[in-house]
Amino acid sequence: MAVPGKKSIGLVLCLLVVVCAGLGIGLQKSVLALDNYEAGLKELKALISVMTLIQEEYVNPEKTKTELLINGAIHGMVSSLDRYSVFFERDEAKEFNDQTQGNFSGLGIQIDVVDGWLTVIEPMPGTPASKAGILGGDRIVEIEGKSTKGISIYDAQKKLKGKEGTSVTLTVARRGEKELIEKTIIRARIETSAVEEKEEKMLDKTTGYIRLRDFTKDAADELETTIKKLQGQGMQSLILDLRDNVGGLLDVAVRICELFVDKGQIVVSHRDRKNQETVYRSERDPLGHFLLAVLVNEFSASASEIVAGCIQDYKRGILVGPAGHKTFGKGSVQTLIDLKALNGASLKLTTAKYHTPKGRSIDDEKGLTPDIFARVADNDRIAIRRAGKSGFIPPEFLGMKAKEATPKEATHAISVDEVFKPDTEKKVEEEDLYDVELYTAYECLKAAEVLRSGTVKS
């Protein structure tokens, strides 16, 4: 193996210039930033030595172009940091930007890695994934026949996204099913709204319900418009549903907090590696002081946790979640850095960790603990989703007349064993399923309405 000489040292400096220019920093600053100048230079020589060897000896010269190798090196550097930092090449940078605008091409699923497996957080309504029967909680164990065990979010997104009209085959493991499920899904253009029309409604004369799906650029405006609409219909209490909402833009999360807390209050802060703090305060008056409950679960992450943490810290409302679960626990801030010198590539880099108004950090998967736990088992939650009952409460629970059921024919063909079978073994019919978490939040707000009205006497 050749020892790097003057040519290699020159390549080291060239690489430094390319990388520094791409990151928008000066060469002098980069060299000074090395932990140890001599050690750093030696390691960079080793990197160039490997690159030179690859370009001289690798069997397929098409894969040894300098740009490809440098991009590969950057991917490796960034992926060694954490799972949220990502290097986007030019086309990927454009696609990521489109996604934050709520417009992209793919299957229409929110994903994350849970217990080392690629997990579906939720399929978006009306998308190819939803139409194919993909459910929240499904684990994608294979993509095109290749295992996803230990896959990164970046690599998974790269495999799942693609041109409109192309297909991808997924192998899915689903809790409660004995066999793996295989689905071939055609990709399509995905255009979403943060607040879907069918997911905002008045549950009764005074209680409103809004499901917020993401924190894309228009989410705050959509939510404000919907709240005002429900207020016009007599809303005095609101259930804000942030379940399965994996987050989005920080500034949008701040604007959403402003809808609920008083002007001047801190809504979130973040601290960088030098412990320098940036504080965000509400710059407007809230939309009112109506009663508020926020639904969260183990997939409520990032911007969702900023909003939920702000509301919980100020006791502006209550957090309600499924028994045994906290929120996801993503308390880090990613900054998107445009790398103009690298053909429009960009770097999504973790640059800070955020804190709730009271100074709580929820990073490293600590998560937020709900104030009230809904007593519902995980298997029942899956059944509720599968039956399409998320967001549904039976009318009779809301004080409304229930739809009359079709009378069943009387029968006495019953055995003694069936009479004495334990209740826990009884099969729950789909028509009996309802959103237990939503109803728990509803009951809490009804009790609070009674207390606020002063109708309870000691």
What single-letter amino acid sits at 416? V
Residue 5: pLDDT band (50, 70, 90) is: very low
Equal CATH topology for 103-191 and 193-333+351-402+427-458 = no
Tell me whether residue 313 is one of the annotated catalytic residues: yes
Relative to beta strand 139-143, strand 146-147 is antiparallel
Nearest to 134 by CA among 418, 423, 450, 386: 386
d(CA 151, CA 140): 11
Helix (H, G, I), strand (E, B) or coil at 167: strand
392: number of CA atoms within 13 Å, CB side?
14
d(CA 394, CA 398): 7
**112, 138, 313, 435: the active-site residue:** 313
Tell me whether residue 330 is one of the annotated catalytic residues: yes
**Structure-token pair, residue 358:** 């009271």
Q: Which CATH architecture has domain 193-333+351-402+427-458?
A: Alpha-Beta Complex (3.90)
pLDDT, tens only, 80-111: 998 889 888 877 777 777 666 666 788 988 88
Kindly state the DSSP code that residue 341 receives in the 8-state scheme.
G
d(CA 267, CA 257): 6
SS3 letters across 92-139: HHHHHHHHHCCEEEECCEEEEEECCEEEEEEECCCCHHHHCCCCCCCE
pLDDT value at residue 404: 52
Element (H, E) at 168: strand 167-173
pLDDT value at residue 233: 97
pLDDT, tens only, 394-427: 999 998 765 554 544 444 455 445 444 454 444 5
pLDDT value at residue 349: 93
Domain 103-191 has CATH 3.40.640.10: no
Nearest to 22 by CA among 338, 335, 334: 338
Residue 442 in contact with residue 393, Cβ under 8 Å? yes
**Length of the chain, please?**
458
Task: Give me the chain's average pLDDT, please.
Answer: 84
**Structure-token pair, residue 271:** 């601290």
**85, 237, 282, 330: the active-site residue:** 330
d(CA 121, CA 110): 5
Residue 78 in contact with residue 86, Cβ under 8 Å? yes
Q: Does the pLDDT of residue 153 top 70, yes or no?
A: yes
pLDDT, tens only, 205-223: 999 999 999 998 899 999 9
Relative to beta strand 291-295, strand 237-241 is parallel
pLDDT value at residue 428: 59
pLDDT, tens only, 275-301: 999 999 999 999 999 999 999 999 999
**Structure-token pair, residue 292:** 């508020």
Q: Where are the domains of the chain?
A: 6-64, 103-191, 193-333+351-402+427-458
Nearest to 188 by CA among 272, 264, 103: 103
Mean pLDDT of 71-81: 89
pLDDT, tens only, 341-360: 677 889 999 999 999 999 99
